């Protein structure tokens, strides 16, 4: 009979020591986790470690994406982008095309109107086409991409895209309309932290 897994409550953010950096195994999971790094998982781990080890603090995220993709021998990259970041996606694709075959899919693909699924609209007066992350994943799956990059998909849409993508997914730009797509800004700015009760 298989024992039911013991429930744990990880709150590493509250740990003042972070002794894991010196090899401490707080959750007694090292052996099981290490066993998971085999096959494709080990290949990914080695490529990630190589990029981190060789280029730590020396390369931009774009450069790291290129180096990692070469290390993994990826040939065809996909970009799932928000229509609001079409210019950024175009630039990203331009740089990536120097090294790879690049496919890109806009979030509004298929042109499905929000009314057909009774979705909330930004402007109730007119027609609005919904974002279609499942469609973006389907198109890039059919294109046979080796790696897909998220370029500014909305919260929730990025989750659906990742769920349905057959290729591995990495995020290149996170959507934050208020902070110029830099969500970490809400952690750094005390004026923005005041929006949360009891924070300064």
* Domain C-terminal end among 58, 83, 111: 58
The answer as to whether 161 is a domain residue is yes
Q: Are residues 96 and 185 in the same domain?
A: yes
pLDDT in the model for residue 199:
75
- CATH no. for residue 101? 3.40.50.1860
CA angle 169, 87, 122 (to 5 degrees): 85
pLDDT tens for 165-186 read: 999 999 999 999 999 999 999 9
Q: Which domain holds residue 51?
A: 25-58
Q: Are residues 183 and 91 in the same domain?
A: yes
As beta bridge partners, residue 113 has: 129
Structure confidence by residue, pLDDT tens digits, 54-74: 999 999 999 999 999 999 999
The per-residue pLDDT for 200 is: 66
Residues 105 and 163 occupy one common structural domain: yes
DSSP 22: G
């Amino acid at each position: 009979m298989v024992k039911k897994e013991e429930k744990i409550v990880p709150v590493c953010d509250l740990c003042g020591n972070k002794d894991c950096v010196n090899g401490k195994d707080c959750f007694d999971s090292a052996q099981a986790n290490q066993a998971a790094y085999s096959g494709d998982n080990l290949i990914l781990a080695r490529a990630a470690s190589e990029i981190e080890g060789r280029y730590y603090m020396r390369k931009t995220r774009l450069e790291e994406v290129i180096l990692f993709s070469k290390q993994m021998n990826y040939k065809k990259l996909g970009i799932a982008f928000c229509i609001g970041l079409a210019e950024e996606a175009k630039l990203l694709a331009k740089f990536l095309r120097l090294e790879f075959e690049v496919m890109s899919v806009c979030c509004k693909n298929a042109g499905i109107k929000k009314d057909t699924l009774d979705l909330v609209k930004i402007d109730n007066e007119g027609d609005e086409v919904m974002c279609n992350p499942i469609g973006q994943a389907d198109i890039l799956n059919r294109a046979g991409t080796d790696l897909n990059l998220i370029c500014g998909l909305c919260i929730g849409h990025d989750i659906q895209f990742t769920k349905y993508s057959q290729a591995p997914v990495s995020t290149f730009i996170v959507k934050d309309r208020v902070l110029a797509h830099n969500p970490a800004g809400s952690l750094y700015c005390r004026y923005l932290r005041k929006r949360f009760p009891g924070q300064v």
